[in-house]
Amino acid sequence: MFYTLEGVITETKNNWTVLEVGGIGYKVSITTHTGKKLKKGEKTKLYTSLYVRENALELYGFLAERELSFFESLNSVNGIGPKSAITIMSAAPIEKIVAAIMEGENELLTKSFGIGRKTAQRIILELRGKLAIDGSKGEVQTMKSDDEVFDALISLGYTKTEAKRIIERIDPKLRSVDERLRDALRRIK
């Protein structure tokens, strides 16, 4: 609903800030890294994600689109909600978290409050083949092409579990659907 909000920071705590836009103060949940960069009275633009719950509207904000994209990727994992995602993102810089996911190391993820070994393994399993770091810009990218590769493998008769395992082994440097599918088929042999 709200993609960006631009205004003046009127208050900041460890995990939230108030961004005043047009005379209205929006309470926005943020990572601790973002909180350290915000200063009271400073004009700021936040990329936001709005979550509607039964009894509350929660707004989550980030200084960069790549942070928002990663937040939404974490939220796509079964059992991870927005509060858990923001907690994970507060544990370390995004690039380190993505590298840990891509390498299958759950130690960094389990440092986050409320994230156990099983949940960390689920995050790795579901996101490992879907994330990449663009080294030139330090940006996190979601591999949308993996959905198409997954569908192609299913149509070839592979089970969902087999397809996920194959996708996990695809070279993360490959970007296009064609390249990723070719690499997946090579790894099957």
Q: What is the pLDDT of residue 147?
A: 72
Compute the radius of gyration of the chain from its Cα atoms. Answer: 18
124/102 Cα distance (integer angstroms) = 7
Q: What is the pLDDT of residue 131?
A: 72
Q: What is the pLDDT of residue 89?
A: 92
What is the set of domains in the chain, with CATH numbers?
Answer: 4-62 (2.40.50.140), 65-131 (1.10.150.20), 143-189 (1.10.8)
CB distance 56 to 38 below 8 Å: no
Locate all alpha helices (DSSP H) within the chain, ordered by sequence.
32-37, 65-75, 82-91, 94-103, 107-110, 117-127, 145-155, 160-168, 177-188
129/153 Cα distance (integer angstroms) = 14
Q: What is the pLDDT of residue 148?
A: 78
Q: What is the pLDDT of residue 138?
A: 44
Average pLDDT per 10 consecutive residues for the chain, totaling 189 residues:
90 92 95 92 95 90 91 89 92 86 84 84 85 50 64 83 78 75 81
Q: What is the pLDDT of residue 132?
A: 60
Q: What is the pLDDT of residue 189?
A: 64
Q: What is the pLDDT of residue 144?
A: 54
156/150 Cα distance (integer angstroms) = 10
Q: What is the pLDDT of residue 133?
A: 54
